[in-house]
Structure 1
Amino acid sequence: MTTPTKKSRRTKPSLREKAMGYLAMREYSYKELKQKLRAYLPVTEEDVEPDLEAHYEAVNVLLDDFKARGWLSEERYTEQIVHARQRKFGSVRIANELREHGIGEELVDKAMAEVKTNDLANALVIYRKKYDAPPNSREEWAKQARFLQSRGFGFDIIKKVVIYKASNRNIEDQEIEE
């Protein structure tokens, strides 16, 4: 009986195995997974010049197959991003992030319809965590407005939150909503 003294060499995972490994960890958009898989170019010693077009086409075919099987879903990816970002960011920032990841406008608009209903409440929570006192000067008002803008809230939401806080009112969601 022989015992192997060396560790057995693992073969490089196939494109399909690599994609399944990525998707096992979390959801990906089509564009995001495509970029990851295109970077993984299996090159053999015989290949002096790898055939990029064939590799890219293989990636596209694989992703189309995954999409047809339901393993790669833009809808699930969108839901995941919205759920993860909604408490920290506003609808503008979330929508931009989704667009950067290659999500279509129709799906972004659908997701943002849900997010916008909670935008004011989220802005108030984020604002209260950062600022306990209303702005005393125009510079402070601008600073607080920039903070909310950097978090992805639109000017209408920023105006409602900061102006009502500046007027020293007790902000309640019912008072602000029109």
Structure 2
Amino acid sequence: MPAPSGTERASSPRDDAIRLLARREYSRAELEQRLSLRGHPAEAVDACLDELTVEGLQSDVRFAESFLRSRVARGQGPLKVRAELERRGIERTLIATTLAGAEQEGEVDWFELAAEALSRRFTHPGESPRERARRERFLASRGFGFEQIRHALERLDAVE
């Protein structure tokens, strides 16, 4: 980002953070990284993010829930969602709480989601071991665990 000229006013970390949050939810770690890249001092960024959290404008809980809903809509499994949330700086305990809460409230059934993802991609069961392995790799790449993959394959086999 170019340095501000004499007629431009440098933006504050808060202004930049509000602009970012107006578009979508961000984790604290993502905001911290983006604000640092814009040249804001680390102390000012931390203070700003603390204020935004107290005011309820930034929330890792809200970010994790929103992120989970978006990934479920894409047909992604819990392993991939967990890895992505960790990569975005969300604490493991919060990730576990968010995933467990979504399951308990009936927002997501990972077994059904795996079966739906498989049936959208493949219309018939894999006849050969090679085809079955292809379907397993597809679900594994989507972030589903062994039990979820097995359930989805059995469901697709039962349709035939």
For normalisation by structure 1, the TM-score amounts to: 0.78
Match of 1:90 among 77, 81, 96: 77
Residues 1-178 of structure 1: pairs in structure 2 closer than 5 A:
9-41=7-39, 55-87=41-73, 88-116=75-103, 117-166=108-157, 169-170=158-159
Structure-2 separation of matches of 1:81 and 1:94: 8
Deviation string 1:135-166 (CA, Å, 9 cap, x unpaired) is 01111111000000001110111012113433
Larger radius of gyration: 1
Deviation string 1:107-142 (CA, Å, 9 cap, x unpaired) is 111111145551011111111110001101111111
Could you list the runs of 4 or more consecutive aligned residues of structure 1 that deviate by over 3 angstroms after TM superposition? Answer: 114-117
Q: Considering only aligned residues, what root-mean-square deviation do their CA atoms show, in Å?
A: 1.8
Helix, strand or coil: the match of 2:109?
Answer: helix
Q: Is the 8 A contact 1:86 1:115 kept in 2?
A: no
Q: Is the 8 A contact 2:115 2:156 kept in 1?
A: no
User: Which structure 1 residue ranges, 5 or more long, are not aligned?
Assistant: 1-8, 43-54, 172-178
Report the number of matched residues. Answer: 150
Helix, strand or coil: the match of 2:130?
Answer: helix
Structure-2 separation of matches of 1:59 and 1:140: 51
Q: Is the 8 A contact 2:115 2:151 kept in 1?
A: no
Structure-2 separation of matches of 1:164 and 1:118: 14
For normalisation by structure 2, the TM-score amounts to: 0.86
- Residues 132 and 114 of structure 1, relative CA distance in 2, 3 Å threshold: farther
Q: Is the 8 A contact 2:119 2:156 kept in 1?
A: no
Who is 1:5 aligned against?
none
Deviation string 1:86-112 (CA, Å, 9 cap, x unpaired) is 132011111111111111112111111
Q: Is the 8 A contact 1:93 1:152 kept in 2?
A: yes
Who is 1:50 aligned against?
none
Deviation string 1:64-87 (CA, Å, 9 cap, x unpaired) is 111111111011101110111113
User: Which structure 2 residue ranges, 5 or more long, are not aligned?
Assistant: 1-6
Helix, strand or coil: the match of 2:159?
Answer: coil
